[in-house]
Structure formats: C-alpha cells, structure tokens
Structure 1
C-alpha cells in the first residue's frame, strides 16, 4: 500500500513550549529545541528494518510500495538532489555551496529508506575535529590557522546508499600452486654464488562454494564536485536503526541519483569478487589461479539506507577547499593549501646540509 505523500519524511516536529522546530540531537534518541532546550524522546520503532525483495522492484512490481513523495531541490552545478529543511536561513548546496532556488523545488517519488544510521557527533564537535586537523597540517600557510572558519557552513548530510543481501552459489575451476625450492649456482669467478630459487608446482582444482553475502554497501549518488572520500566512507552498519523521520530533523537529506538497477549491477561485481576470494580459499595451497566461476545469486534483497557525514568548505585566499567528517566515527578528510615558501626553504635547507656533507667528504 502506498504511503500518503509527505506522511513520513516531511512531517515537521514543533516544540510544545515555544513552537520552534525540533531537531535531532546527535548521539541520543531525542529531539531538542535549540531555543528553549525542550527535549522529546523519539519513540522506538515497532518493527526491525525490512529487507525488500529485489526482483519485485527491478521488475517494477513493487515500485509503489514502501515509497512516498518528498520535496527536492536539484543543484544545477553539481547535480545533487537534496531535501533541505525549512529552518535553514540560506539555501546552498551542501556539496558545492552554490545557491539553491526555493522556487525550483519539486515533488519526487523515492523508495523510502529502510534504515538510518543516526548522527553520533553534533556540528560543534565536527568543527572542532576540523580545526584540530587544520592545526596539525604540515607545510600549510601560517595564516590558514587564523583564517575565518565559520561553523555555520558545516552541514550534516544523510547520504543515500543501497545495501544488498544474497545467497551465493558458484562452481569454479582453477589451479592450486605449491611452492618448492631448488638450489642453484649463479655467476662466475669471484661472483660465483649459491642461491635458493622458488618454484611452483601446479595441480588442477575445481569445486563449489556457497554462502550468504550480507550488506554489500553501494553508494547511491554521484556528483561532479564534493564526492565523499573513501577515507571517511566507512560506517558501522551494526548501528543502523529502523528508519524514523525524527532522525532527519535539522539535517539535509540527499536523494539517490544512482538507480536501484545500477546499484545492483555494482553489487553483482562485488559478489563476483567475493566468489573469487572464497574460491581461492577453497583451493588452498600457497597460491591459486581461478580460471572460471559460474556464479548464481538467489534470495536477493535490498534496502535504501541513509548514512551521516558532515560536509563543508573553507576559503583561503579566494580559493575553496572541501572537507568531510564522518558523522559516526569522526574520521576527517579534506583538501588543504600548501605554503610555497615553507616548502622552498625546507628544500633549500636540505640542499645546504647535503652540500656541507659532500664538501667535508671530498676534503677527506
């Protein structure tokens, strides 16, 4: 049964004391008013999050179930599709900071998220991590640490991902390699010496493997700018909660731009990599060659999940630099400027030391 539009994702939560909009307080199960500090407990989910049957959605049979409408803004600069809460005073793309035009807002259907990993760090903590990172940069200009870095441009984003589960079965053929060593003499005259040389005996191998693949994580969005670095794109999926719109309050939510079918193709590539690793483990020996794998996936399910990341940028001498903080672990990755003069004088110093060493070596 299709959800009533806006029933789940866009229901605003107002403070019963002052009427202001409540926001999710990271690391808790509470909504909080930033004006009067009123707190409201988020009710626990009645059910665990669901794994949806993949074939129904790929065949469009289940496309209308577990779906709803959401108000979206499309960034014409980087292509991100994002739902921006009304309480943001200035609407700018969370990825590239270009202005978003409210009049361009439109309604769009999306597969309702099945699970969400709530933010564990608040905006202030994310900005502290960023400032500590800046203070520890080598070769950065001294003035960078004194630059005006406004925390309001650090925004929390729930980024969309697909996860896929499947039962894997495969037949394989290949070879098992076992090492052995021979002693041989090489060189001649004074350079004549004995060495041990490793060689490999190969034996034919074949067999079958099977197992369950759980939560293959595939990103569900792509942008021209501001791509979340792999360095910070690691979350503990054991902390996933059944989707509740309260966790989104006060944050930007991005809509997937990579369709489910394309995400499934990427998941199948990863499944083949997993099958290759399992086959090599099954073959054993010291080294392996996998010649062929006939892989079949069954009982395939998926879910649309939202994962937390803080995204922002700072300007230094007119140039924009992006940085990202994982909203669960606090891991940071970012772009940074380099000081030409620091690097120049360091290189000159090294050359000067080498020159002195060479001078004294030549005198001796």
Structure 2
C-alpha cells in the first residue's frame, strides 16, 4: 500500500483582522503584524523522524514523506525558491533579479524533518548589516544607501541533508615512534658541532574501530552565484525543532538542488575521513600510517532540514554582491565593492601630504 503523501499546512489567517500570521523569531508562536494576535506552534512531542536511507535511494521510495509545493526558478543564478500565496511581486534573495509569479510551477520535494527556527528577527539582522556596512572602508555611497532600506534584507531557510550511521572499520597500518641520534656536523662557520637528528621506528599495527556518526551536515543546494560563506555556516543543531509549517511563515524557503543520492556520496567521503582519524587515534604512537582500511556503514538514516540565514543582495555596476547573516547567531559575512573615486582621492590626499612634508623639510 502506498503511504499517504503528507501535505504542509495551509497558511493561517488572523482571527481578528484576517492578515497572515507570521513566525516570530526566537519563539514558538506565529503572530499578526497588524493587531498583535498570537498563536502557538504545535510541536510534535515525539521529536524528529529519522528516515531510513536506502529505500529513498531507490525509485519506489522516492515519494514517501513528500509533498507538492509551488516553486520559482531564478534564471539568473539558478536558485529554487518556494512561493508563498500572498506574494504580489518577488525578487531572488540571492541576486535581486525579479521573479515572475506566473512562472511558478509545482514540484515534489522530500518533506523537511526538522527546522532550526530563526532566533533573530529581521530588524536585528538589519542592524547587524548596517553596522557592518558602516565599518567598510572605501564602500560606494550607493551601498551605504542600500543599507538604509530593510527591503534589501530577506530571511531565507536553506536546505541541508543530515546523515546518521553506525561506522565500522578495520585497518592495517604502522605506528611510528620518534627517537633521536646525535651527529657531528660542520656548521656555517666551518666548526664541528653536535646536532640532534629525529628518526622514526615503525611497528606494524592493525585493528578495528567503530562508533556512531550523528548529523553529518551536507549542503543541499548550489547556485551559479550566492554561495553561503563558511564563516556563517555553523548552526547549533541542538536547537532543531520537528518540522512545522508555522516556522516558515513570512520567510522564503529554498528547495534542495543537490539530490539525496549526491548528498549521501559526499557524506560517505566525510565518514571515510572520520574513520581514518579514528584509526590513527587507535594506532597511537607519535605518527601513523594507514596503509589499508575497510569501512562499512550500517543503520543509515537521514533528514532533510532547513537552516536560517538573512541575505542582502546588491548590484553594483552590473556585478552581484551578497551579504549573509546567520539567522541563529548573527554572524555576518559577504563580498563588497570598492569605490574607485574614494580610493583615488585618498591616494591624491596622501601624495599631497607627503609633498607638503617634503617641501617644508627642504
């Protein structure tokens, strides 16, 4: 029997004034921006559901725990964004190019299993962005003007895969232990001196290691531009909540473009690196060599999760710039343009000051 396709709950309207209720960052409630009415988001007390991996890697399991959502594809940067029903107009959060509502299409996705709700609101993120822009030297005036308009800063949920597994590995290698020999060598002045030379004694080693891999985090989207910087790509996954649609209200949600199978292959590479570190730790000594390793993963599960960022997209002289703020901890990172004329006049000023100093010195 085919499992039922789970549907995301419809957007809720305020019982008082009919406006859309939106998620209030840092809480577990949705609220009305107009009259202040609030409602609690009901969180599943059973926690997250870890989905068994291998049925999803086969075609028959592809539609389990899935739903149909409306999407807009940005033809400029390639981002896929979930469309909310009340949007009159929309710009891509990454590159600020206009998106045409009539281009919306329906697409299946694996329903998120968990979400890390925004912990800071749009006003806080905007203040962080303003402070950062003001700290930039030689920034164009147009950029500083953009920093005065909150519409340039939008909240976005990013898709990630997480993988859990039991790891087992057997290895053959060598344990190296350092020892030192004293040699007589001639130094730069031609004098004979004693010198300590480090050497390594190698001993055969083999064994087995095992352990649990918890929440290996793999990015699930990629675009031609707008790559999320590593500096802000660190979230406290202990704050994950079981997925509820209310947490998405008022924010844009990006759909994964890296399929589960590709994400799983990447997680296996990370698992192999972890296994080798465990093997080296098991070998001990001063240095180690792992000549062969047989790694096996069992009890593999995964989740599709959503993580929060604020994005400010800005175009300057035909080039795209992005500024990213972690929606949980407020870390900021971004690329920035430079003003040629500001740099030019500063250089002229410095040269003029140097010229005056030289003139008076003579």
Q: Same fold (TM over 0.5)?
A: yes
Q: CA deviation at 1:180?
A: 1.4
Alignment partner, residue 33 of structure 2: 34
- Matched residue, 2:105: 106
Aligned-partner SS, 1:231:
helix
Q: 1:190: which partner in 2?
A: 189
Question: Are the equivalent residues in 1 in contact too, given 2:140–2:338 (CA < 8 A)?
Answer: no
Q: Which residue of 2 aligns with 1:14?
A: 13
Q: Give the 3-state SS of the residue equivalent to 1:40 in structure 2.
A: strand
Structure 1 distance, partners of 2:181, 2:318, is 64
Call closer, same or farther: CA 1:59–1:320 in 2, change over 3 Å: closer
**Which region of structure 1 is more displaced relative to structure 2, 205-214 or 338-347?**
338-347
Q: Which runs of 4+ in 1 moved over 6 A?
A: 346-349
Pair 1:53 & 2:55 matched: no
* SS of alignment partner, residue 295 of structure 1: strand
User: Residue 95 of structure 1 aligns with which residue?
Assistant: 94
The two structures have a TM-score, normalised by structure 2, of 0.90
Task: Tell me, yes or no, if the aligned pair for 1:140 and 1:336 is still in contact at 8 Å.
Answer: no
Please tell me whether the aligned partners of residues 2 and 64 of structure 1 are also in contact (alpha carbons under 8 angstroms): no
TM-score normalised according to structure 1 size: 0.89
User: Quick one: structure 1 residues 316 and 60, their matched pair in 2 at CA, closer, same or farther if it must change by over 3 Å?
Assistant: closer
Q: Which residue does the alignment assign to 2:138? A: 140
> Contact 1:2–1:68 (CA<8 Å) still a contact in 2?
no
Distance 1:153 1:142 in 2: 16
Distance 1:243 1:199 in 2: 56
Find the residue that maps to 1:270 and give its secondary structure: helix
- Bigger drift between 219-228 and 173-182 goes to 173-182
Displacement of 1:173 in angstroms is 1.1
For the structure 1 residues 331 and 298, does the alpha-carbon distance in structure 2 shift closer, same or farther, using more than 3 Å as the test?
same
| 1:265-344 → structure 2 map (5 Å cutoff) | 265-315=265-315, 319-339=319-339, 342=343
* Bigger mean CA deviation after superposition, 61-70 or 81-90: 81-90
- Following the alignment from structure 2 to structure 1, what is the Cα–Cα distance between the partners of residues 280 and 71? 46
Instruction: Tell me what 1:259 maps to.
Output: 259
Kindly indicate whether the alpha-carbon contact (under 8 Å) linking 1:54 and 1:301 is maintained by their aligned counterparts in 2: yes
Q: CA RMSD in A?
A: 2.4
Identify the residue that residue 361 of structure 1 maps to in structure 2: none
What CA deviation, in whole Å up to 9, does each residue of 1:306-355 have, x standing for no partner?
00011112345665421000000111101123355548749968xx7xxx
User: Which blocks of at least 5 consecutive residues in structure 2 are unaligned?
Assistant: none
Report if the CA contact (8 A) 1:94-1:312 is conserved: yes
Secondary structure in 2 aligned to 1:125?
helix
